Amino acid sequence: NAGVTQTPKFRVLKTGQSMTLLCAQDMNHEYMYWYRQDPGMGLRLIHYSVGEGTTAKGEVPDGYNVSRLKKQNFLLGLESAAPSQTSVYFCASSLAGLSYEQYFGPGTRLTVT
């Protein structure tokens, strides 16, 4: 099992450019999440999905869009990147229920200049 994978691992964008981050999981998890991690801030939830075809906003959704066309994939899009979106992005997945841990991908380090 590969677990949770993310592509790309690193990316540098110029302000105004767009990009898509891909997350894939092979554990048949229903729930998937996108977080961003900034220094001193812990992880903050951007968007999440509780199943194929469903998405919802998290704590910091502005400037991002997501799609979950297939159960195993969760895409995070930046339509017009801004320097404030410079961060490390983590995808995670889990089974439903409060007792299940979330499995994290390795992260994507994004720099917007």
Partner 1 sequence: AQKITQTQPGMFVQEKEAVTLDCTYDTSDQSYGLFWYKQPSSGEMIFLIYQGSYDEQNATEGRYSLNFQKARKSANLVISASQLGDSAMYFCAMRASDRGSTLGRLYFGRGTQLTVWP
Which CB sits closer to partner 1, 37 or 65?
37
Q: List binders of partner 1 among 48-67 (CB under 8 A).
A: 48, 50, 58
Task: Please list, residue by residue across 7-45, b when 16 or more beta carbons sit within 10 angstroms of its beta carbon and e when fewer do.
Answer: eeeebebeeeeebebebbbeeebebbbbbbeeeeeebeb
From 17-25, 40-48, 61-69, 70-78, span contacting partner 1 (CB under 8 A): 40-48
Of positions 2, 14, 28, 40, contacts partner 1 by CB under 8 A: 40
Q: Please give the single-letter amino acid code of residue 106.
A: P
Q: Token pair of 96, please?
A: 């439903």
From 13-21, 61-69, 70-78, 85-93, span contacting partner 1 (CB under 8 A): 85-93
